[in-house]
Amino acid sequence: MVDRTLSAPGKLFLAGEYAVLWGGVARVAAVGPRVRAYVRRRADRRVELLLAEGRLSGDTTPLGARWQATPSPAFHFVARTVDLALRAVAQDSPGFSIAFEPSPTAAGQKLGFGSSARACVLAAEACRTAMGATFDALKLALVAHASAQQGKGSGADVAACFAGDVVRYRRADVTALIDAGNKGGFSGALTSSPPIDVWRVNPPRLPMLYVFSGASASTPGLIAEVERALAPKDRERFVLQSDALGLQLEEALARGDFAGARAATEALQALLFSLGPTRTPGLERILQLASAAGCVAKQSGAGGGDGCLVFAPDTAARDAARESFTARGLFAFPVSTEPGLRGEVQPALELVRWTDAAA
């Protein structure tokens, strides 16, 4: 029997929001808390996907899973990943069960840590393990995540969850791979496609804090609104500014230079607010509170909700800022960089029990 426990981190954008969609560079940190998945190869051809929300069952085929029912929204991303993994192998494959831990929430809302991207990464590696396959799990997760969103998204969150630490990432064009996944020839297309442009860089040497605004954002809706309003020439100018400021922030964080990081962060936030719909009273409040505590903050992600990443000159300032946020009813906690996707020595016993109960 093949069984394995995997884990992957979440992600937080340091820089490059929106710019990465238009050819720019994203800088993204992989952060905890980690989420685990447990995979077990089966003796039959069945596929069982287990979430806190329930179970999705089907059978393996070279053309994807033959699901007993249309996957519900909770299973949308992982089911698409399984389908593409089976098409990447393109032959009769053993069945398997995969159980996924829930992603962390605050007041019942997602934190903006890339839960769907992390789910695709875990599902891709779980399928690869169960089937003894050799496909590139990062590429497959990128294609699955984009395909599940009708080709939208940059994939920066997928790359960070997979690679870990801090990554510098340029968007991969997976249009042809999505097409091959839908029409045929996916295995060959995946193998022959170019490598992903992702690089690990030096981690921040400043203490960091994540503050949740209290409201989740609709990233696709924000992107669509921004792209409707921004002409191609304006996008080009935005990308040039974002890339330059992102490099400044990356280098200042690697040096532990708070003054340099503050200047770059404030300029990046002003650039993002210039887009219009990313600005909200909740985000502005976090920025003001961070500044009052001697720190600096910026939105992490598309804005319009979710949260902010706070950089502090030292741990005392970070802890004081956290107390200030908490006293005002905001959910705040320290974050640090995490390794990427990995196998765990200790099994996730609750997930093992779920799998046993569903057998």
Domains by residue range for the chain, with CATH: 3-201+339-358 (3.30.230.10), 208-335 (3.30.70.890)
Q: How many CB atoms lie within 10 A of CB 272?
A: 24
pLDDT at site 226: 80
Distance from C-alpha of 145 to C-alpha of 139, rounded to nearest angstrom: 10
- Mean pLDDT, residues 74-94 taken together: 95
Q: In what order do the strands lie in the sheet with 296-299?
A: 296-299, 307-311, 208-212, 331-335
Residue 304 has pLDDT above 70, yes or no: no
pLDDT confidence of residue 307: 86
**Class of residue 298 by CB neighbours under 10 A (exposed 0-12, middle 13-18, buried 19+):** buried
User: Are 268 and 15 spatial neighbours (Cβ–Cβ below 8 Å)?
Assistant: yes
In tens, the pLDDT along 102-133 reads 987 766 667 677 899 999 999 999 999 999 99
Contacts of 249 (CB under 8 A, 6+ apart): 14, 15, 27, 261, 264, 265, 268
Average pLDDT (124-152) is 95
Band (1; pLDDT cuts 50, 70, 90): low
What is the structure's pLDDT at 110? 72
Query: pLDDT band for position 281 (50/70/90)?
Result: confident
Residue 278: the pLDDT is 80
**Per-residue pLDDT tens digits for 166-192:** 999 999 999 999 999 999 899 999 999
DSSP string, 233-244: HHHHHHHHHHHH
| pLDDT cut 90: percent of the chain above it | 78
| β 3-15/342-344 pair status | antiparallel
From CA 241, how far away is CA 237, in angstroms rounded? 6
Chain mean pLDDT for the chain: 92
Residue (of 68, 87, 69, 82) closest to 127 by Cα position: 82
The DSSP bridge pattern shows strands 46-51 and 96-100 to be: parallel
The pLDDT score that the predictor gives to residue 359 is 72
